Amino acid sequence: MTGGNQNRRNAIVNIASQQLQISKQGETFSTEELFRANVFDLREMQKRLPKAVYRSLLRTVESGQALDATTADAVASAMKEWAIAKGATHYTHVFYPLTGLTAEKHDSFLLPSGDGAISEFSGAQLIQGEPDGSSFPTGGIRQTFEARGYTAWDVTSPAYLLEGENGSTLCIPTAFVSWTGEALDQKTPLLRSMQALNLQVQRVLKLFGQETKKLVVSTAGAEQEYFLVDSHFYYARPDLLTAGRTLFGASSPKGQEFDDHYFGAINDRALNYMIECEKQLLKLGVPVKTRHNEVAPGQYEIAPIYENANVATDHQQLIMSTLQKVATQHGFVCLLHEKPFAGVNGSGKHVNFSMGNAEVGNLLEPGDNPQTNMRFLVFCAAVIQAVSRHARLLRAVVASAGNDHRLGANEAPPAIISIFLGDQLTEVFDLITSGSNGEASKSGTLTLGVDTLPRLPKDAGDRNRTSPFAFTGNKFEFRAVGSAQSIATPLIVLNTILAESLDDIATSLEAADGSLDDAITQCITDIYKAHKSVIFNGDGYSDEWHKAAVEERGLDNLRTTADALPSYMDDATVKIFEKYNVLSPRELESRMHVYLEQYAMSIQVEARLTVEMGRTMILPASLRYLGEVADTAGKLKAIGRSLDGGLLDAIAGHVDGLQKTLGTLEEKMAAHVEDPIAECRHACDEILPAMNAVREHADALEGLVADDLWPLPTYEEMLFIK
C-alpha cells in the first residue's frame, strides 16, 4: 500500500478509537452558576467598589460621561484583587486589529521593586497600554518609524478571566489607536458610531416626548455558522490547514440533498463539543442560547441572546476563538471559512440588529398603542432610507475572498442589497403612503388606531431566507455577513447610516409647523416613495429578481469583492463617515486598502497552494496510476485483450489538462500588478478562474485514480466521519 491510502485509513481508525473516550466527557452543569463566573462586570464592581466610585463608573457606562483618574485607579485595584484571587498571573489588553482577529499582549502582574517582585497594576496601566503592534495592517496610516500604537480601556465592555491549563489571564477589552489618535482597529469606530447614533436617536425620541438619560444603543445578536472536521483529516489537507478551505475535492456521492442533517439530532461527539463551548462561553459572560445542526453535513450553528452592539462584538470574537480552541481539545478543527467545501452550503453569520435601552424599550418593536406604533414606523422608515441610500456600502462591508463563494450562489442572499419587510408591514406602508387610513386587508390584525396610522402586525409571520436584509418581527437581520468576519464593520456601518437617516428625519420633523402626526405621516410617505425600490419580498435567489433588480429598479449587483470594495470611497460614504466623526477620509481609505490587500493575499496564497498540491500530490498520484494502467494495458494486449471504456485516454487527457492548467496558473501568478484595486481585479478575473481550471482536472482525476493512491482525504470522509 502506498502513502496516500495509508494516511487516510489510519486517520479513520484513529478517529474511531478516539470517539469512545471523547463521548464520555459530557457533564451536567448549572447555567446559573456558570454564567459570568469569570467576568468582572458591574455586579462584581458594585460588590467591591466604594459607593461613590461605583456611581461614577456607572455614569460612564450608562450615560457616556468621561472617566476620571481616581475612579480608574480604584477600579484597577479592585479588578486586580479579583483576578489574582481567581488565579490570574498575567493581564492583557485585548484589541481588535483590521485583520478581523483578536490580538493580545500579555504582561505579568509582577513588577520588580527594590527588594523583590511585587504585584503592581495601576489605574494608568488599566486605562492605557502600549503594545508594539507595528506589524498589524494599517493601510498606510502608520509607518514603522512611528510604530507606536496605544490601547485604551473600553469601560463599557467588561473585563474577563481567560482560564488556561497553566494559569489564567485577566483580559481587558480596549480600543487601539495610533499616537495621532487615528483608529487602527474595529472598536474605535464602533464606539464612535454608537455615539453618533445615540445623539440622533435622542433627537427623534424627544419629538415623541420620550427623553431618556441613558444612552440609546444599537443591539446585536449574531448567529454563527461553522463546520467541524476531524483534525486527522484537517492535518492531511494542506489547503484546509493553510487556506481554511478545500481547493480540491470531488463531490461526495451523498451531499445535503436529503436535508437529513438540518435540525437533526446532534451527533454525540459534536454535542459534547458544543456543551463544552457553551460552558466556557457562559463563564465569560457570553449569553449563548441556541445550538443546532445546519443545512450541510458537519455544519452547526451557535447563537447568543442579543446585547449592546459593542459588547456583542467583543463576545462574537470570544465565540469564534472559543469554538476553535475547544475544537482542538475534542480532536476537531472548527472551520469558520465561508465556503470550506464546494457544492455544499457555506457558512454565514446573521447579524440581528435593533436599537433601544431599558427606558425606551426596543425601537424596532411594533407597539400596541398608536404612539409606539408611530415611533416604530419612523424608526423602520429610517432603516429603509439608510439601507437604500447606502446599499453599496452595505455590500462592501461583507466583501471578502471567502464570502464571494456564498453571496449570490443560491444558498446565501444575493449580492444585491434589498430589504424584506414582509407582506403585512409592506401593506401598512402602502396604506399610509396612499393617504388611506382604512383597514389593511391581508391580516385581520391591522385596524385603524385613534390617529391616522393603522395598527401594526404583532407577528412578523412570514419568513424569507433569501433576503440579505430582513425585518423579522422586532429587529432587522443582516444575512449577508460572512461566517469568518468580525461583526464590527457591519455594525459600524449600520450605526452610521442610521445616524444620518435619523438626523434627516429629526431635522424635517423639528421644522414642521403643523401637527406632529401630519408631519410624521408626510415624512414616512416621502421616504417610502423615494426608497420603495429597495423593498423586495419575493425570492431573492431567482433569475427574474437578478434581472429586474438591476434593469427595472436600478439596484446595484456588485458580484465580487473586487466590484464591491471600491465603494468604500464613494462620495456618499466618505461624507457620512466624516460628518458623524466615525472615520476620517484617511482612516476610511486606509481601511479599504487593508481589505483590498487581504483579498489579493488570500487569493495568492490559495493559488500557491493549488500549484503546490497540484504538482506534489495530485499529479504524482495521477502519473503513478497512469503508469500502472498503461502497464496493464500492455499486458492485456499481450494476451489478446484490451481495456475498454477509454480509461487510459481519460486519465491521460486529464493529466495533460492538469499540467497545462497549472502552467497557465503560474503565468497568471507571475504578473506583477502595482495598483491595489488592479491587483484585486487581477486576482478575481485572472487567478481565480485559472485555479478553477486546475481543480476541474484534479477533481475528474479523483474519480478515476485508484483509491489507494489518492493522497487527500475525500469530501465523503471529511463530511461524514465524526
CA distance 195 to 187: 12
Q: By C-beta, is 495 or 590 nearer to ligand ADP?
A: 495
Supply the minimum distance, in Å, between the C-beta of residue 475 and ligand ADP: 4
Instruction: Considering only the stretches 118-126, 349-357, 495-503, 707-715, report the one whose residues sit in contact with ligand ADP under the rule CB under 6 A.
Output: 349-357
Region 202-261 residues binding ligand ADP, contact defined as CB under 6 A: 219-221, 223
Q: Does 362 bind ligand ADP (CB under 6 A)?
A: yes
Site string for ligand ADP, 464-503 (x = CB under 6 A): ----------xx----------------------------
Q: By C-beta, is 240 or 311 nearer to ligand ADP?
A: 311
Region 409-428 residues binding ligand ADP, contact defined as CB under 6 A: none
* Alpha carbon of residue 459 to chain centroid: 27
- Chosen from ligand ADP, Mg ion, none, partner binding at 447 (C-beta under 5 to 8 Å by type): none
Residue 631 burial class via C-beta count within 10 angstroms: exposed 0-12, middle 13-18, buried 19 and up: exposed
- Chosen from ligand ADP, Mg ion, none, partner binding at 658 (C-beta under 5 to 8 Å by type): none
- Chosen from Mg ion, ligand ADP, none, partner binding at 337 (C-beta under 5 to 8 Å by type): none
Q: By C-beta, is 75 or 191 nearer to ligand ADP?
A: 191
Among 151, 310, 347, 352, binds ligand ADP (CB under 6 A): 352
Instruction: Considering only the stretches 301-309, 446-454, 624-632, 674-682, report the one whose residues sit in contact with ligand ADP under the rule CB under 6 A.
Output: 301-309
CA distance 536 to 529: 14
Q: Does 299 bind ligand ADP (CB under 6 A)?
A: no
The neighbouring-strand residues paired with 149 are 178
Q: Pull the grid cell for residue 673.
A: 500588478
Instruction: Considering only the stretches 54-62, 352-360, 367-375, 480-488, report the one whose residues sit in contact with ligand ADP under the rule CB under 6 A.
Output: 352-360
By CB under 5 A, how many residues form the interface with Mg ion?
Answer: 2
- Chosen from ligand ADP, Mg ion, none, partner binding at 195 (C-beta under 5 to 8 Å by type): none
CA distances from 488 to 405, 537, 632 (A): 21, 27, 60
By CB under 6 A, how many residues form the interface with ligand ADP?
Answer: 16
**Element (DSSP H or E) covering residue 164:** strand 159-164
| CB atoms closer than 10 angstroms to residue 203 | 16
Q: By C-beta, is 292 or 579 nearer to Mg ion?
A: 292
Nearest residue to ligand ADP on Cβ basis: 221
Contacts 24+ apart (CB under 8 A), 611-614: 611/662, 611/665, 611/666, 611/669, 612/238, 613/238, 613/239, 613/247, 613/248, 613/712, 614/658, 614/662, 614/694, 614/698
**Element (DSSP H or E) covering residue 168:** strand 167-178
Q: By C-beta, is 125 or 464 nearer to ligand ADP?
A: 464
Q: What is the DSSP string of 298-343?
A: TEEEEEEPPEEHHHHHHHHHHHHHHHHHHHHHTTEEEE--S-SSTT
CA atoms within 13 A on the CB side of 463: 3
Among 82, 273, 306, 577, binds ligand ADP (CB under 6 A): 306
Q: Does 475 bind Mg ion (CB under 5 A)?
A: no
CA distances from 673 to 48, 104, 444, 567 (A): 59, 34, 61, 21
Q: By C-beta, is 350 or 695 nearer to Mg ion?
A: 350
Supply the minimum distance, in Å, between the C-beta of residue 556 and Mg ion: 24
Q: Does 350 bind Mg ion (CB under 5 A)?
A: yes
Contact 187, 582 (CB under 8 A): no
Q: By C-beta, is 93 or 350 nearer to ligand ADP?
A: 350
Supply the minimum distance, in Å, between the C-beta of residue 465 and Mg ion: 8
Angle between helices 309-329 and 488-511 (to 10 degrees): 170
Q: Pull the grid cell for residue 384.
A: 429603509
Rounded to 5 degrees, φ, ψ at 89 are -110, -25
Supply the minimum distance, in Å, between the C-beta of residue 355 and ligand ADP: 8
Helices (H) and strands (E) in the chain, counts: 25, 19
Place of cell 492583557: 92
Binding site for ligand ADP (CB under 6 A): 219-221, 223, 290, 303-306, 350, 352-354, 362, 474-475
Binding site for Mg ion (CB under 5 A): 223, 350
